[in-house]
Structures are given as structure tokens and as C-alpha cells.
Amino acid sequence: MSASRGGRQRLPRERRLTRGTDIKAAFRRGKRSRTAHLDVFDSASPVAHPRVGVIVPRYRQTVVRRNRVKRRLREILRRDVLPRLDEAGLALDVLVRARREAYDARFAELREELVRWTDRRLSRAASSS
């Protein structure tokens, strides 16, 4: 992924689901999987590479807590999910929606859930090929 000022890593714009129409399409078309803290929707991407999106509803939480959950999920998607999808050559749109329980989850728990989901999705894609 691209680096920004201060050596930070960023999630490139072309790898993000940012438009409302893309997000709504991912909800409609996507196959939903549930984890302890997240709902993950995945569908075929109309572009040649995987893209990711994050939705964190308010659930009467403070903006600080909400932003922390968003940052954690984006980081996991950037460092763990996208590289695995790229490696497998899967062009998927992946939309992660935080459930109420995500506000109390540790980073390691969220990471473990998304990595496990990615591994299951990749094995499903390999078995259907």
C-alpha cells in the first residue's frame, strides 16, 4: 500500500468503497457472514481488484469510540485482508459492518475474526474453482 507523510501506511482510494451506490450494491448483492462482532458482506467487484468498506453505526456511543472502531477495522483490512485477496487474485467488494459488540472488542479479537473470515472465503473460492 502507499506511504504517506511520516512513513504511515494508507489505504489507497481505489481500494475503498466510498460511494453510497457502491456500498448499497455491496449490501444488496453481498453474501452476509456473521462473526462475534461483525457482519461481513462480500460480492464480486466490478473492478479488477478487491475493494473494502467499513460501516460503524453510532449505537449511542461517543464519536471517539466510534472512530477507534473504524480505524481498527480499516487497519485490519489494509494489512491483513486486502493482501490475502490480492494474493489469491480475487476481485471482491468486502463491506464490514460493526455490530454493537464491536465497541467492546480488542484489536486482536477483531483481527482474528477478519483473518478467519478471509481464510474461509479463500478456501470457499478455491473449492468452487
Q: Render pLDDT for 60-100 as a digit per residue (tens, 0 to 9).
A: 999 999 999 999 999 999 999 999 999 999 999 999 999 99
What whole-number percentage of the chain has pLDDT above 90? 77
Q: How far is CA 41 from the centre of its chain?
A: 9
CATH architecture of 11-121: 2-Layer Sandwich (3.30)
- Residue (of 60, 26, 38) closest to 117 by Cα position: 38
Which residues, including other chains, have CB under 8 Å from residue 25's CB and lie 6 or more apart?
43, 93
Which residues, including other chains, have CB under 8 Å from residue 14's CB and lie 6 or more apart?
47, 49, 51
pLDDT at 118: 97
Average pLDDT on 37-51 reads: 95
CA distance 43 to 28: 9
Which cell numbers hold the place of 75? Answer: 487497519
Alpha-carbon Rg for the chain, nearest whole angstrom, is 14
Give residue limits of the domains in the chain.
11-121
